[in-house]
Amino acid sequence: MPSDPTLRVKALESLLVEKGLVDRATVDALIDTYEHRVGPRNGARVVARAWADPEYRRRLLADADRAIAELGYGGMQGEHMVVVENTPRVHNLVVCTLCSCYPWPVLGLPPVWYKSAAYRSRAVIDPRGVLREFGVDLPDDVEVRVWDSTAEVRYLVLPERPARTEEWTEQQLAAIVTRDSMVGVARSPAPAGGRSA
Amino acid sequence: MFAEPWQAQAFALALTLSHEGHFSWKEWSTALAQEIRRAEARGEPNDGSRYYDRWLATLERLVTEKKLSTRPALRQRKAEWARAYRRTPHGRPVELAAAQPPARAGRAARPGHRPRR
């Protein structure tokens, strides 16, 4: 016998489909998109483009929705994206204290820890402590900015471009951008064979 | 990522209903935040592992609040699915028609009722 939630979802889906309120093909297509097509690789391509193309970076920071749409990514809830940039002096950290809002079109679905009460509450109260648990020990002179995502605004971190990647192609750059660095629980990704800046 | 298929289905149903205009995404987030708060206040696990349970509870709540369906209809349909699962031999696709008494099974098996495997 399937689990209780399985039966409840089947009840919802079959009733809504019968009433013509949802179309099963649309639901299936969405599932396929989120299981197979959407994930942090999308965000990595956005970050790599911003590193490789200063003009794109400027557009991304000024109007993230439009710049992200240029690469073919977009949301379904009409949510507004804002990109915040890390610098040697500023580290950005993203959380959703209420309900785990997450920039799905560019990062896919959130990891379990992002949805935990511990992360949701402590990211705001003690961001440096949370970062330390993720292995990020920030010097005191680096300011930590915490961004609380909502139904209307979702944040994405633009990490710093690692040193010694000047000759890299956009594709090579995209390959080293991690999900955690775009949420802000990791510093810049380290280029292979080197250390992060 | 989704740990079980029902989580993906619940996720997609919420997005679809909102996209079709049955509720705004702000209404959704507010309701979901409430469900999370209540569950955590009841002492349920708050490590993120039960996120989609709260998602599903929110979906049921908004579907009934917006009068897209009713609690009794959801309960009854859930019981029908449970019957259908019990009556379907292992390895065969489960269809809602299997929940019906044999005399009505033919009628209930029209295409509109055919559940996805």
Question: What is the domain count for chain B?
Answer: 1
pLDDT digits over A36-58, tens only? Answer: 888 999 999 999 999 999 999 99
- What would the two tokens of residue A12 be? 């919802």
Give the distance between the most distant pair of CA atoms in chain B. 48
Q: Residues A72, A101: one domain?
A: yes
Model pLDDT, residue A78: 60
Q: Worst-scoring range by mean pLDDT, A1-5, A11-15, A136-140, B93-97?
A: B93-97
Domain that holds residue A12: 4-36
**What average pLDDT does this structure show over B91-96?**
78
ipTM confidence: 0.82
- The band of A77, judged by pLDDT with boundaries at 50, 70 and 90, is low
Q: Residues A108, A175: one domain?
A: yes
- The answer to whether A62 contacts chain B (CB < 8 Å) is no
Q: Residues A16, A101: one domain?
A: no
Q: Is residue B109 part of a domain?
A: no
Model pLDDT, residue B1: 74
Kindly report the length of chain A.
197
- The band of A195, judged by pLDDT with boundaries at 50, 70 and 90, is very low
* pLDDT at residue B112 is higher than 60: no
Of the two residues A167 and B93, the one the predictor is more confident about is A167
Q: Is residue A194 part of a domain?
A: no
pTM: 0.83
The strand pairing partners of A148, in sequence order, are A95
DSSP string, A26-78: HHHHHHHIIIII-SHHHHHHHHHHHHH-HHHHHHHHH-HHHHHHHTT---SS-
Q: Which residues of B touch A30 (CB under 8 A)?
A: 11-12, 15-16
A118, amino acid identity: A
What angle, 0 to 180 degrees and rounded to 10, lies between the N-to-C axes of helices A4-18 and B71-87?
110
**What average pLDDT does this structure show over A19-32?**
93
The answer to whether A117 contacts B47, with C-beta atoms less than 8 Å apart, is: yes
The C-alpha torsion from A128 through B26 and A66 to A25, rounded to 10°, is 120
Q: Residues A96, A140: one domain?
A: yes
The percent helix, strand, coil of chain A (3-state, each to 5) is 50, 10, 40
Q: Residues A21, A68: one domain?
A: no
Q: Residues A68, A137: one domain?
A: yes
The C-alpha torsion from A65 through A71 and A72 to A74, rounded to 10°, is -20
Model pLDDT, residue A45: 97
Q: Residues A21, A91: one domain?
A: no
- Using alpha carbons, select from B99, B51, B59 the residue that is nearest to residue A16: B59
Average pLDDT of the residues of chain A: 91
Query: How far from A8 is each of A12, A142, B53, CA to CA, in Å?
Result: 6, 48, 11
Mutation to test the A interface, candidates B15, B18, B19, B28, most A Cβ within 10 Å = B15
**What average pLDDT does this structure show over A60-70?**
95
Q: Residues A31, A45: one domain?
A: no
Q: Residues A31, A47: one domain?
A: no
* pLDDT at residue A141 is higher than 50: yes
Model pLDDT, residue A2: 87
